[in-house]
């Protein structure tokens, strides 16, 4: 297969970027999206040109590093990360526009890599709980309702990729914060300091330049792990808004 690729190139956060067009052929339908970029980079390096810089790590849909927007959609397709895409899914789209996350809080480092350390700062703002726990209890000593356990697991699926903030008209990271809060708040062992921790994380989110949630629900629609906005409802109840 032959593809025409319009890829965002930018040397650093201080310089102006723009789309550069490349054409690549001999792409198998079983080639993953990131492998296709690898192949393109090999061709560029052979020609003596600078390789396209993009972020990746696990390539298994776990780490959330592969933060690309493909044809206007974060991660390219619904319910998966960019590294889980295969070129056969673009058989009828031979012209692709590839760019980094678009949010003021995600500064472009180079080309397709953005600085998402702001998410780490939000987590750090939540702090930790200091308490005497004694000896480690047996795993089944505190009973957890099946419904609560499932909600906790669903929320814990958040990989912090940033797709929610990149697509939100307000560049809000509320879904990310809500998932991180509610996956612990759903369990009986983690109710200590939940309200205070939630407020600190939201305050830190806003101080970093993220906007507030206004229920556009774009975040939910592009989340590769299908994190529900029910988490935001739970967050609002925890801090007293609901």
Question: DSSP labels for the chain?
Answer: --EEEEEEE-SSTTS--EEEEEEE----TT-BHHHHHHHHHHHHHHTTPPPPP---S-SSSSS----EEETTEETSSTTS-GGG-BGGGGTT--EEEEEE---TTSEEEETTEEE-HHHHHHHHHT--------SPPPTTSS---HHHHHHHHHHHT-----HHHHHSTT-B-HHHHHHHHHHHHTSGGG-TTHHHHHHHHHHHHHHTT-B---S--HHHHH-TT---THHHHHHHHHHT--
pLDDT of residue 190: 67
Q: What is the pLDDT of residue 29?
A: 93
- Which pTM does this prediction carry? 0.89
What does the alpha-carbon distance between residue 201 and residue 234 come to, in Å, rounded to a whole number? Answer: 15
Structure tokens at 135: 């000896």
Backbone angles phi and psi of 129, in degrees to 5: -105, 125
Q: How far apart are CA 105 and CA 115, in angstroms?
A: 8
The pLDDT of residue 28? 94
Which pLDDT value is given to residue 143?
81
Report pLDDT for 132: 67
Supply the pLDDT for residue 148.
Answer: 87
What are the structural domains, with CATH classification, of the chain? 3-110 (3.10.20.30), 117-239 (1.10.1060)
For the chain, 242 residues long, the average pLDDT of each consecutive 10-residue run is 97 95 95 97 97 94 93 93 95 95 93 96 85 68 84 93 94 95 81 85 95 92 95 91 60
115, 101 contact by CB (below 8 A)? no
Please count the CA atoms within 13 angstroms of the CA of 111 that sit on its side-chain side: 14
Distance between start and end Cα atoms, the chain: 52
């Amino acid at each position: 297969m032959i593809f025409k690729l319009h890829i965002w190139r930018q040397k650093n956060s201080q310089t102006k970027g723009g789309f550069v067009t490349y054409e690549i052929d001999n792409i198998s339908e079983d080639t993953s999206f990131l492998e296709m970029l690898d192949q393109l980079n090999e061709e560029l390096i052979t020609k003596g040109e600078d390789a396209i810089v993009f972020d990746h790590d696990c390539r298994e849909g776990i780490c959330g590093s592969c933060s690309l927007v493909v044809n206007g959609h974060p991660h390219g397709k619904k319910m998966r990360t960019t590294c889980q895409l295969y070129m056969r899914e673009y058989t009828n789209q031979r012209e692709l526009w590839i760019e980094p996350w678009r949010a003021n809080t995600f500064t472009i480092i180079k080309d397709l890599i953005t600085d998402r350390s702001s998410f780490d700062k939000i987590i750090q703002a939540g702090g930790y709980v200091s308490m005497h726990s004694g000896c480690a209890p047996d795993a089944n000593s505190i009973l957890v309702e099946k419904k609560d356990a499932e909600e906790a697991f669903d929320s814990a699926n958040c990989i912090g990729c940033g797709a929610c903030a990149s697509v939100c008209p307000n560049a809000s990271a509320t879904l990310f914060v809500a998932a991180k809060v509610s996956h612990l708040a759903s369990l009986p062992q983690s109710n200590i300091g939940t309200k205070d921790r939630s407020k600190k994380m939201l305050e830190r989110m806003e101080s970093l330049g993220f906007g507030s949630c206004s229920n556009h629900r774009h975040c939910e629609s592009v989340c590769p792990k299908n994190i529900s906005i029910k988490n935001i409802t739970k967050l609002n109840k925890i801090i007293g808004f609901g």
